[in-house]
Every structure is written in structure tokens, then in C-alpha cells.
Structure 1
Amino acid sequence: MTFAGPTNAGHGGNNATFVEFCGERFPVVPGQPFYIGREATLTVDDNPYLHRRFLLLHDENGMWWLTNLGTHLTATVTAADLGFTAMLGPGARMPLVFGRTSVVFSAGPTTYEVQVQAGTPAPSLPPTTSPGNGDTTRGVPNFTESQKLAVLVLAEAILRRDGTGVSALPSSAQAAARLGWSLTKFNRKLDNVCDKLDLIGVAGMRAGGGKLASNRRLKLVEFALSTGLVSRDDLPMLDAEHARNVAGG
């Protein structure tokens, strides 16, 4: 098996979005789809086992998304600094919320790696329509307001990013303090959310034997962003919840 692409590409400016391959940087422009494949915006190789347009990088709702346009190839998406790895199968898509991301895929005997630096595609999100009281989101299970807050606080740093990069997700203790909750309450709400998602088949909520998955918070944030469960419009809920709990003693 041969390997094409960098194994340790350097870091660039956090606000710019670009793809690096074999030491060359390719800018990605908001509003313009960027394709990766055999005959694409980034043509990685003339490998006949590789789709003409295999991966699509585009901006939507204030975030960058990676979509697998192929029919049989799978890409592995990794944010090494955060210990996050996910498989992107045919027809699947995911938000690139971790700043610097490595994308590895194989076609025939050759394995390729591209690095994606995802900046901020737009200064703000376009107006969106949300349910009446913010307690439920179409297409996902019904969540109470407190359960949604448990998810929102984990995604806060990503939703607030302004081109300065993405911070690691908060610890449970930090998340609880942000909401003015006890650690026990936060963990209980997080467990409730993960249980609901596990029941509908969302991967990564539980490990083998029913144990909690070690990286479930990363998986949860990925799911919440990709389904619109939380958005920047929801962020004021965090300050309101903190103020309410602090005021209440």
C-alpha cells in the first residue's frame, strides 16, 4: 500500500479556511463548494478507484461541513488534539467544528491524507426557525429545556468561535459551574440526553456492555450541531440559566 499526502502539516491562520495536500495549500471560499476527488477542485490523483468527486467541503448555517459524495469509499476524520475520530461513510456528512482536521481515505492500493483548517465562514448565522419554547427540535427526540442546556453548554465554545480557533470541550465540572448547577445535576441531565439518543441508534453514546462511551461528549456535540439541536441563537439561554441559579442561591 502506498501513501500520498502530508503526515504532519503545519498550522495556519485560524480564521482562514483551506485544504492542504502534499505541501500545497488550497483556499476554500464561503459560498463556493470545494470538491476533493479524481476530477475536482482538488484533484488528488488520477486513481481510477477514486470517485471523480468524493468529498465536498462547503459552508452552511455558519459552519463548514464535510460530505461524502461517494458510493463505496469511507473517510476517517480525526482531530488529534481532542482525541476525536469519526468515520464518514457514503452519503454521510459532518460539521468540521474542531479547527484543524485530518481526513484520510483509501482508494484501491493508495491511501491519501488531506488536512482541513476550518475557519469561520460567516460572521453570524442566518435567521432560523426554532420551536416555540426551545424545548424540542424537529428530527430528534424531545428534550426538556434543562437537557438542551446540558448540550448547549458543551457546544458553547464552538458556537461562539470568531476565528480564534476552537477550544476543547469543557469538563463536566466546568459545564456545571457555567450553568450554576451541581455536578450531580449536570451529569444526570447529560446521561438522560445520551440515553435518549442511544435509544434511537445514535452512535457513540454508549460503549460495549452499556457503559458510557469515553468520548460521548464529542459525539454529542457533533450530533447536536449537525441536526440543529443547538445553535448560536440559543446561547442567551446559558446566561439566563446561570443568573437564575445564582440569584436563587
Structure 2
Amino acid sequence: MALRSGAVAVVAAPAEVVTEPPALGTLQVRYGDVRAEVAPGSEFSIGRDADLTVDDNPYVQRRFLRLHIEGGLWWIENTGRLSARLTDGSGQLQASLPPGTRLPLVFDRTRIVFAAGTANYELEVSSDAPVFGPPVATTPTASTPTADLVGHVPLTRGQRRLIVALAEPLLRDRPTGRAEIPGSAEAADRLGWTLTAFNRKLDTVCEKLDRIGVTGLRGGRGNLATNRRLRLVEHAVATRLVTVDDLGLLDAVPDTGGTAA
């Protein structure tokens, strides 16, 4: 189209594309045999005396976790005094949820693990309309080292057996979602080790994880052995460092635990 001298071409702007925010789905909360649904527009609390009561454990706050919608996303908020650990369900993504913080629930499944007193707890929150789909699983290759490399932590067979012995109650008692973690002497006996060998190997495992940034595993003032074992189980179960499939290690031919961890 030709224009006369001095004329100004007026080009119509493209129509604004209005996009609707993605519809939020209903959340399903699972704790052992208990199932609950949380519909958009509602809130849901988890704690000792909440919409979902996990236990009468006095170390668990009455309202520990809160699920709610804000800014077009589902959020999980820590309104208590404990910390929790969250993963995307596959263990490939993980995050810490300290008191007073919150995280968006954007995956199809989110696993929540936390410790209170001498017990560990596990819950799962799933969504029928997640923002992100499940991650693509990686397939082990022939070059994968014999020492299992999970979360960039090489574990010997003995180290894995130690973690499984501590996590066994939670792995076996998933229908309840709650488990008491065994003491060092009990776990050592389960493995057929001496207590000295068990503690030495526990030190090595905790040092390995501490070096990659896992907190709460180093001994020191205010960090009792019980807390260290609880924290180890919390991390191992949340990140799938050990799973139900590893329980067979406990029934394998026992070793002495005396070799270098």
C-alpha cells in the first residue's frame, strides 16, 4: 500500500492474548492408612491436633504444617518449631522447610519427612493437576561404580546396611507413617556387629553426608547421638538413599562391620 508524502502509517496492535492461570487441582494427603482431600479454596493443617492428626507426640506442634493457596499456587507452610524435609517423590529434588518458611507444591507428588522426639514421620501430598510433571528417571549404565552412587554419595555395602538398620522401622511401617528409630546397640545387634564397629561406621557415614552439605549429622554440643540417628534416617528416607528394596540387605550374610567403613 502506497502512502502520500507526510502521511503516517497506523498499524493496528495485535489483540492482547489473555491467558488464564492454570487451574489448581485438589490435593490428596496420605499419612499411613489415612487419606484426606484438600479442595481449592480451603486450607488444611497437619499436626498433633489438626485437620490431620499425625500423633499425640508432645514434640509435634498442634498446628505444624499448613496447606493453602496463594498467588495461584498451592503452598506448604511450616507454622511449628520443627523442621521438615521435602522431596518430589522420586528423591531427585529435595528441600528443607525450617520453621517460619514455606514452599510451593508444584510436583505431582511431594514426600514430607520429619523427626520429633525419638520418632520419624512420613507423609505424602499429591496433586491431580501439578505444575511440573514427574522427572525423567535415569537408567544405570555399565559404567556405574560398584559402590552405589546415590545423591553423589558413594556407599559401601556396610554403610548401606547400617542406614537400612536404622531406617528399618520406618521402611517397614509405612502403613502407619510413624516409627521409633532404634538405638545404636539395637541396630548393631541387628547387623551382628559390635557397638564399637557400629559407631565407627556411623561416624564415617555422617562425615560423608556432612561433606556434601547435609546438616545435623556432626557431633557436638546440643547434638545428641539420638538426634544424629534421627537426622540420618530423615535424610535417607526423604532422598531415597535407602528404600524398601534395600531391606533384603539385613537378611544377607552378616559381616563383622570391622572393615573400614
Hey, what's the Cα distance between the residues in 2 that align with 1:117 and 1:192? 26
1:231 aligns with 2:243: yes
Instruction: Tell me the secondary structure at the aligned position of residue 167 of structure 1.
Output: strand
| TM superposition score normalised by structure 2 | 0.51
Which stretches in structure 1 are left out of the alignment for 5+ residues? 1-12, 27-34, 40-49, 69-73, 77-86, 101-115, 122-126
Matched, 1:37 2:71: no
- What is the Cα-based RMSD across aligned positions, in Å? 4.7
Instruction: Return the offset for 1:59.
Output: 8.0
Cα deviations across residues 156-201 of structure 1 (Å, max 9, x unaligned)?
1111124144221000011001111111111111000011111222
**Secondary structure at 1:118's aligned position in 2?**
strand
Q: Distance in 2 between the 1:202 and 1:25 partners?
A: 29
Q: What secondary structure, in the 3-state scheme, does the structure 1 residue paired with 2:74 have?
A: coil
The answer for the alignment partner of 1:96 in structure 2 is: 112
Give 1:95 deviation, angstroms. Answer: 4.0
State how far apart, in whole Å, the 1-side matches of 2:103 and 2:163 are.
27
Aligned: 1:15 with 2:33: yes
* Among 106, 118, 123, the residue aligned to 1:118: 123
Aligned partners of 2:203 and 2:223: how far apart in 1? 11
Measured in 1, the distance between the counterparts of 2:140 and 2:178 equals 25
Which of these residues, 62, 75, 80, is aligned with residue 54 of structure 1? 75
Q: What's 1:155 paired with?
A: 167
Equivalent residue letter for 2:89: E
Q: Aligned residue for 1:137?
A: 149
CA distance in 2, matches of 1:90, 1:24: 20
8 Å contact kept, 1:38–1:53:
yes
Counterpart for residue 42 of structure 1: none
Q: How do 1:181-196 and structure 2 match up within 5 A?
A: 181-196=193-208
In structure 2, distance between residues paired with 1:66 and 1:51:
22
Amino acid at match of 1:38: I
Kept in 2, the 8 Å contact 1:130–1:137? The answer is no
Whether the 8 Å contact between 1:206 and 1:212 is mirrored in structure 2 is: no
Quickly say closer, same or farther: Cα 1:36–1:118, change in 2 above 3 A: same
TM-fit CA distance, 1:207:
4.8
Partner of 1:175: 187
What is the identity, as a one-letter code, of the residue corresponding to 1:182? T
Q: Would you tell me which structure has more helix in proportion to its own residues?
A: 1
TM-score, scaled relative to structure 1: 0.53
Aligned length: 178
In the TM superposition, what is the alpha-carbon distance from 1:51 to its structure 2 partner? 7.9
Look up the match of 1:220.
Answer: 232
- Matches of 2:225 and 2:212, distance apart in 1: 16
2: CA distance between counterparts of 1:133 and 1:189?
A: 21
Say which one has the larger Rg: 2
Instruction: Tell me how far 1:15 sits from its aligned partner.
Output: 1.1
- Aligned to 1:38, the other structure's residue is in SS state strand
| Structure 2 gap ranges (5+) | 1-30, 39-43, 54-65, 78-85, 127-136, 257-261
Shift of 1:60: 3.1
